[in-house]
Amino acid sequence: MRALIAGNWKMHGLLADVATLAAPLREPAESLACDLLVCPPATLIAAVAAALAGSKVAVGAQDCHAKHTGPHTGEVSAAMLKDAGAAWVILGHSERRADYAESDAIVRDKAEAAIACGLTPIVCVGETGTQKAAGRAEEVVGGQLLGSLPDDFAGIVAYEPIWAIGTGHIPTEADVIAMHAFIRAELVRRFGLAGHGFRILYGGSVKPANAAALLNLPEVGGALVGGASLKPEDFLAVARAVAG
Ligand code: PEP
């Protein structure tokens, strides 16, 4: 299975930035050994999808509502994101879990809605620094997997230790190997053979300088990239670190 390098632009980007953030990915994506995905803010999905139409770069969203339509002021449904040109959606990012008290149950409902609409969910899990220091990383991640993934899950899991996001700190290679092996085992225990097929991304301060070391570890099926995805040359350098 090809690795996936997914960029999370978070709350960055205006229409005028599409030409500099998305368009430069078109040509280089043709010769990469991995799949490439960008997840701009909802306001830019249609423009980014248009800029990347016919290319090998996929477009996703950063969140969706669990309901398809209805009286939910300010919200955007999975169907609306698909209509705008998204094929993927990041769900349960730690910033949303923290800022909006998104529980595992909410993330699971969103994942169900996304799958029902034909979007591929990227469900984020990861422990805080305090939880890691207390030796509870696997317990926390195991609980998030159990609660956030629906029984009909068909998508991707992103392991993002919260203490590594935007900090420049990354786990040791041994820790990444151990956590990804744990997640794989949990997926297989719950989903049987299908559990072998879900890519598991690593996320947290992935940069060109550390990408090769992180991306070629066992069970690391790619990366979810925040800051470095806002510089196309860095984002592409991360993607080129995937061994062909
Ligand atoms: C993220 O927010 O998902 C992330 C991985 O950010 P960064 O790469 O900037 O640490």
For 72-129, write each residue's pLDDT tens digit.
Answer: 999 999 999 999 999 999 999 999 999 999 999 999 999 999 999 999 999 999 999 9
Q: What is the pLDDT of residue 243?
A: 87
Query: Ligand 1, atom 2: nearest CA belongs to which residue?
Result: 226
Q: What is the pLDDT of residue 114?
A: 98
Return all residues near 113 (Cβ < 8 A) that are at least 6 apart: 64, 65, 66, 67, 68, 77, 78
pTM: 0.97
Burial track 126-156 (b if 16+ CB lie within 10 A, e otherwise):
bbbeebbeeeebbebbbebbeebbbeebebb
pLDDT, one tens digit per residue, over 14-45 is 999 999 999 999 999 999 999 999 999 999 99
Which whole number is the average pLDDT over 154-183?
98
Q: What is the pLDDT of residue 244?
A: 75
Tell me which of 93, 102, 112, 219 is the catalytic residue.
Answer: 93
Atom of ligand 1 nearest to the CA of 229: 8
Q: What is the pLDDT of residue 203?
A: 98
pLDDT, one tens digit per residue, over 134-149 is 999 999 999 999 999 9
Domain ranges in the chain?
Answer: 91-113+125-169+188-219
What class is the 91-113+125-169+188-219 domain? alpha beta
Helices then strands, each counted (H, E), the chain: 11, 8
Q: What is the pLDDT of residue 1?
A: 87
pLDDT, one tens digit per residue, over 39-82 is 999 999 999 999 999 999 999 999 999 999 999 999 999 999 99
pLDDT band at 12 (very low <50, low <70, confident <90, very high): very high
Please, what is the average pLDDT of the chain?
A: 97
The best mutation among 225, 231, 238 to test binding of ligand 1, ranked by most ligand atoms within 8 Å of the C-beta, falls on 225
- What is the residue-wise DSSP string for 182-219? HHHHHHHHHHGGGGGTS-EEEESS--HHHHHHHHTSTT
The best mutation among 169, 202, 224, 235 to test binding of ligand 1, ranked by most ligand atoms within 8 Å of the C-beta, falls on 224
Question: How close is the Cα of 227 to the center of ligand 1, in Å?
Answer: 6
Q: Which residue has the tokens 């995805």?
A: 229
